[in-house]
Amino acid sequence: MKEESLRTLKGIGEKTEKLFERAGVGNLNQLLHYYPRDYDSYEQTVPLGMVRDNEKNAVCGRILRQPSVKNYNHKSVTILQLEDETGKLQITWFHMPFLKSTLKRGGSYIFRGRVSMKNGRKTMEHPEIFTIAGYDEIQGQLRPIYPLTTGLTNKMVIKAVSQLLEERSLEPEYLPEEQRERLRLCEINYAIAEIHFPSDRNSLAEARRRLVFDEFFFFILALSRLKEKTETVENHFPMRAVWRTEEVIENLPYRLTDAQMGVWNELERDMTGRLLMNRLIQGDVGSGKTILAFLSMIMCCENGYQSALMVPTEVLAVQHYESLCRLLEENQITDARPVLLKGSCTQKEKREIYEKIASGETKMIVGTHALIQEKVVYRDLALVITDEQHRFGVRQRTLLTEKGYPPNVLVMSATPIPRTLAIILYGDLDISVLNELPARRLPIKNCVVGTSWRPNAYQFMEREITAGHQVYVICPMVEENEELNCENVMDYSSRLRERMPAGIRVEPLHGQMKAQKKNEIMEAFAANEIQILVSTTVVEVGVNVPNATVMLIENAERFGLAQLHQLRGRVGRGEAQSYCIFMQGDEKEETSRRLDILNRSNDGFYIAEEDLKLRGPGDLFGIRQSGIADFQIADIYQDADILKESSAAVREILELDPELKLPQNRLLSEALEHYLERQNADILL
């Protein structure tokens, strides 16, 4: 079943298949592991007089009058008045005029949706509709809510998954029975079925525990094998420490922090050593990791070797390439001839770059995943630098070095995790920590505010722009989505453009734009031709525009704290005072408490710890906090205990059967293969 197409399911044609593909679901196996991001419980109905504002309510009532349909701003709105003995409620839908004839006057129905005050009147917007009997059937159930992309609805996913679970035989149980029982883990097929459609909260918790265990288990299993393969590999690129790097450090407009100096010494020692370097630099946002990457590249170049810096997005590739070129120019290093290789280069450009790489003319290559395509043949590639989510596995290393020796590897991470966990998760890497921020930085000033404060925020933004600075605004969505009540980049940027004086240029940025367009916008922002960038979280990783001093995050409740911390790290990168405004779109006490953690501290480690304390182990489906590896359901902070259990279980199995050749581990070995395939085959092995 693993690779079977979604089209083998009833009701999925070419169009729907494409929608699923955009959400990363390309075959049945991926669908099976497309877990809900949350659950909805169909609660008891409440009397109309008792509906709660800003929350989802299920209400049962009689329709007073035939619904009316009106047109506002090209939107058709269907309006309905509902009543029961305790009160009345207005209900509205957009773009659903047909409801006028479906919902009959005098009929009783159940409506379920969010209630808020609109023009002084309690209004339920865009609710689901049920007959009384229909609601009876599902009341009390936990219904999955899947992560969606534009066009893909929750109903579509539910339909596809339930068909799949009903009709196909699933996975064989691969964990040895004895181990499973000892660890009190439920059976795998039960876990998969229950994670999609839980019978109740207990079985959901049980299912989740098993799947979290498995995610960690396979990750660590793959890692352990990788470790064996790379731990003692000889370094075929003998290097000397060079004076050029000392000069570059001297010429920097700032002094390296002691932490940066310490890590730089470690890197020098590694690269001049007998064994291959495999090192992780862990440093909070803005701690200055990039310069260490550049220094390492310069050291390789001076020793006559190539180095490659691989980053997750084109925007970042362009940014790094430009600052690398600047650094080389300032220091008159002319023999490096760096190139920028990105997916959006034309064929001709790519060919020229490939030639420069293959001939050894260029010594420094910056790019996205295009760097590891088979067509790229390197010449003495001695160092590869990447981020934690795109760590190199053996297969990737082989791809990189088809005609050479394996390179030194340097991994950069801004995820703050305690050392005990880091040792498990980065088992194959030596770890360096940058635990100090550059000295002249002023701590970012934060505030958590409600949406009524928005006009003040805009005034403040204007003031900062007048003083020559720039602003990021972050929205959770790209376009309007009527099911989700939150801000989107497209509408927001048009509104803001109207609101701001003519001299202030406002532009949107999001992941669905063409790479070329994204680069243009980022470049214009970096050059202060754009003053306000309204963006999704695409700016989250690594973007560096030190002149930006304000970040306004809309619907801050929709992001994990670690993610918010990463986002906030885009400001406070220069010497000017910076500010971060967390705009809370709901009025929940719990959200305020979470956001207050960010308000109090700018320290990634502290934030991760406090967040965990606040959420506690009972919170099964909080927003996932870390982007480490590709954990779909597991959260390294919250599930730290399971992580340790998985690690111990792997150790136990491998001690007895390091190659997974014993009959009791046959299914496990196969499952490991599938895991690697699912992870795109190249994350680790």
Interface with ligand ATP (CB under 6 A), residue from 542, 572, 604, 627: 542
Region of 115-123, 285-293, 366-374, 499-507 interacting with ligand ATP (CB under 6 A): 285-293
At its nearest, how many Å lie between ligand ATP and the CB of residue 436? 9
At its nearest, how many Å lie between ligand ATP and the CB of residue 660? 37
| 283 lies in the binding site for ligand ATP (CB under 6 A) | yes
| Cα distance between residue 500 and residue 441, in whole Å | 29
CA-nearest of 672, 437, 420, 455 to 572 is 437
Are the beta carbons of 92 and 123 closer than 8 angstroms?
A: yes
Q: Which is nearer to ligand ATP, 112 or 570 (CB)?
A: 570
Q: Which amino acid is at 157?
A: V
Interface with ligand ATP (CB under 6 A), residue from 147, 360, 427, 438: 438
Region of 32-40, 303-311, 502-510, 539-547 interacting with ligand ATP (CB under 6 A): 539-547
| 433 contact partners, CB below 8 Å, separation of at least 6 | 259, 263, 281, 282, 283
Binding residue count for ligand ATP, defined by CB under 6 A = 20
What does the DSSP 8-state code read for residue 75? Answer: E
What is the phi/psi pair of residue 165, to 5°? -65, -30
What are the angstrom distances between the C-alpha of 285 and each of 437, 444, 496, 565?
9, 12, 28, 8
Tokens 């490096």: give the residue.
336
| 605 lies in the binding site for ligand ATP (CB under 6 A) | no
Q: Which is nearer to ligand ATP, 220 or 281 (CB)?
A: 281
| 288 lies in the binding site for ligand ATP (CB under 6 A) | yes
Site for ligand ATP in 136-165 (CB under 6 A): none
| 235 lies in the binding site for ligand ATP (CB under 6 A) | no
Region of 180-188, 215-223, 255-263, 334-342 interacting with ligand ATP (CB under 6 A): 255-263
Tokens of 134: 């229909």
Interface with ligand ATP (CB under 6 A), residue from 113, 127, 176, 286: 286
At its nearest, how many Å lie between ligand ATP and the CB of residue 307? 17
| 546 lies in the binding site for ligand ATP (CB under 6 A) | yes
Max CA distance (Å), the chain: 87
| Cα distance between residue 605 and residue 603, in whole Å | 6
Tokens 């009997």: give the residue.
133
| 289 lies in the binding site for ligand ATP (CB under 6 A) | yes
What is the phi/psi pair of residue 191, to 5°? -60, -45
Q: Which is nearer to ligand ATP, 289 or 397 (CB)?
A: 289
At its nearest, how many Å lie between ligand ATP and the CB of residue 291? 5
At its nearest, how many Å lie between ligand ATP and the CB of residue 456? 28
Q: Which is nearer to ligand ATP, 29 or 413 (CB)?
A: 413
Region of 14-22, 288-296, 444-452, 518-526 interacting with ligand ATP (CB under 6 A): 288-296
| 569 lies in the binding site for ligand ATP (CB under 6 A) | yes
> What does the angle CA 608 – CA 611 – CA 614 come to, to the nearest 5 degrees?
155
Region of 34-42, 354-362, 507-515, 542-550 interacting with ligand ATP (CB under 6 A): 542-550
| 544 lies in the binding site for ligand ATP (CB under 6 A) | yes
Q: Which is nearer to ligand ATP, 342 or 570 (CB)?
A: 570
Interface with ligand ATP (CB under 6 A), residue from 57, 235, 260, 584: 260
For 244-347, list the strands marked E by DSSP: 278-283, 306-310, 339-341
Tokens of 469: 């600075």
Q: Which is nearer to ligand ATP, 319 or 519 (CB)?
A: 319
Region of 48-56, 233-241, 249-257, 477-485 interacting with ligand ATP (CB under 6 A): 249-257
| Cα distance between residue 316 and residue 314, in whole Å | 5
At its nearest, how many Å lie between ligand ATP and the CB of residue 260? 6
Q: Which is nearer to ligand ATP, 446 or 584 (CB)?
A: 446
| Cα distance between residue 156 and residue 118, in whole Å | 31
Q: Which is nearer to ligand ATP, 256 or 421 (CB)?
A: 256
Q: Which is nearer to ligand ATP, 65 or 255 (CB)?
A: 255
Provide the residue count of the chain: 685
Q: Which is nearer to ligand ATP, 319 or 536 (CB)?
A: 319
Interface with ligand ATP (CB under 6 A), residue from 256, 449, 490, 524: 256
Strands 430-434 and 142-145: unpaired
| Cα distance between residue 651 and residue 491, in whole Å | 52
Interface with ligand ATP (CB under 6 A), residue from 235, 257, 386, 584: 257
What are the angstrom distances between the C-alpha of 325 and each of 257, 318, 319, 340?
23, 11, 10, 10
Q: Please, what is the angle between helix 290-302 and helix 258-271, to 10°? A: 30
Region of 15-23, 149-157, 221-229, 253-261 interacting with ligand ATP (CB under 6 A): 253-261
Strands 408-413 and 381-387: parallel
Q: Using a CB cutoff of 8 Å and minimum separation of 24, what contacts does 654-661 make?
A: 654/221, 654/224
Q: Which is nearer to ligand ATP, 36 or 569 (CB)?
A: 569
| 176 lies in the binding site for ligand ATP (CB under 6 A) | no
What are the angstrom distances between the C-alpha of 513 and each of 518, 538, 639?
6, 11, 35
Interface with ligand ATP (CB under 6 A), residue from 16, 290, 362, 488: 290
Q: Which amino acid is at 530?
A: I
> What does the angle CA 79 – CA 82 – CA 88 come to, to the nearest 5 degrees?
115
| Cα distance between residue 275 and residue 233, in whole Å | 6
Interface with ligand ATP (CB under 6 A), residue from 414, 444, 567, 629: 414
Q: Which is nearer to ligand ATP, 406 or 574 (CB)?
A: 574
Site for ligand ATP in 368-387 (CB under 6 A): none
Region of 73-81, 193-201, 248-256, 296-304 interacting with ligand ATP (CB under 6 A): 248-256
| 515 lies in the binding site for ligand ATP (CB under 6 A) | no
Site for ligand ATP in 27-56 (CB under 6 A): none
| Cα distance between residue 480 and residue 73, in whole Å | 15
| Cα distance between residue 263 and residue 280, in whole Å | 10
Tokens of 628: 């480490």
| 553 contact partners, CB below 8 Å, separation of at least 6 | 473, 474, 559, 564, 567, 568, 580, 581, 582, 583
Q: Which is nearer to ligand ATP, 288 or 622 (CB)?
A: 288
Q: Which is nearer to ligand ATP, 324 or 478 (CB)?
A: 324
H or E, element range at 222: helix 201-230
| Residues near ligand ATP (CB under 6 A) | 254-257, 260, 283, 285-291, 414, 438, 542, 544, 546, 569, 573
